[in-house]
Chains A and B, each alone.
Chain A
């Protein structure tokens, strides 16, 4: 577990490692999670150390390395599990993807609370907002929590979130990143894989991202890079 911002901790674990985030709210003992991969134990251990219980789990998208252990957190903590409507089918194909990847893991989806673009959740004086950012998957979202931006696999601080899995649309991902470009100046980016970083540093230093955007000159022009 490592602290990546005030009241935000990151846990990276599992045989197929991805970042899970624990966000402590203003209410004592209360927290929410952003994404949970295949292995829940390190996240549960971190929650115990932080002495907080998650009432909500917000998934940035439906891939197994981001929703894999959602049922565990729903059953153990009663956490409500949120996913964008457009990623439900992706979530239901996870075991097929795991099978063809020759992995032994299988997941069991919990009942889901479906969200749309703009869905908001109030925690004390702060609000978390779902922002639809399709491209990596049809229902990929970025979550805005004040000046913290949880981007899942939409935006990495290093590299680009292309997987060639079903539902991926590189042109749409470019358009999505373009829509986020100006916003990045004022946020800390917490990706689904890799380290967190200030958005303006990502814009400046992520050469692979700039190259990806440059594949469509229109997008590049509009991003002012």
Chain B
């Protein structure tokens, strides 16, 4: 899986989230997902990450965990934006 493949998975999950939001957010590789500038609330972030986890696992044909202690203990949070999340997914796939 390339980083762009992973990025597309994340962006698709955000587009699906947008369908449920009263006020859709701008979706792009640098959309802030976590932290002070986050454009989505915490429950939405959880929903997106779980969605991404499922699709990435299916694409790779093996379980991918984005919500375990390894993920949250990364020096740079994988949840900062779609691009950093895609990078983390790619590292798990390697």
Q: For B34, what are the chain A residues with a Cβ–Cβ distance below 8 Å? A: 100
**Which one of B46, B65, B69, B72 contacts A165 once the chains associate, using CB atoms below 8 Å?**
B46
B 36-71 contacts with A by CB, 8 A:
42-43, 45-47, 49-50, 65-69, 71
Counting chain B residues whose Cβ lies within 8 A of the other chain, the interface size class is 10 to 19
- C-alpha spacing A93/B34, complex, angstroms: 17
**A92 located at the interface, meaning its Cβ lies under 8 Å from any Cβ of chain B in the complex:** yes
Given A100-B34, A100-B42, A101-B42: A166 in contact with B71 (beta carbons within 8 A): no
B residues near A101, Cβ cutoff 8 Å: 42
Determine how close the nearest CB of chain B comes to the CB of A108; give it in whole angstroms.
9
- A165 near B49 with CB under 8 A, answer no
Looking at chain B's contact residues, the main secondary structure is helix
Query: Would you call A99 an interface residue if the criterion is a C-beta within 8 Å of the partner chain's C-beta atoms?
Result: yes
- B68 in contact with A96 (CB, 8 Å): yes
Q: Are A165 and B68 also in contact (CB < 8 A) when A96-B49, A100-B34 are?
A: no
* A97 and B46 form a contact (CB under 8 A): yes
Known interface pairs A92-B67, A93-B67, A95-B69; A102-B42 also in contact (CB < 8 Å): yes
Most buried by A among B45, B46, B49, B65: B46
- 13 other contacts beyond A97-B67, A165-B46, A166-B50, with CB at 8 A cut-off? A92-B67, A92-B68, A93-B67, A93-B68, A95-B68, A95-B69, A96-B66, A96-B67, A96-B71, A96-B72, A100-B42, A102-B42, A165-B43
In the A-B complex, the 6 residue pairs with the closest CB atoms? A96-B67, A93-B67, A100-B42, A166-B50, A99-B72, A164-B43
Give the distance in Å from the alpha carbon of A96 to the alpha carbon of B68 in the complex: 7
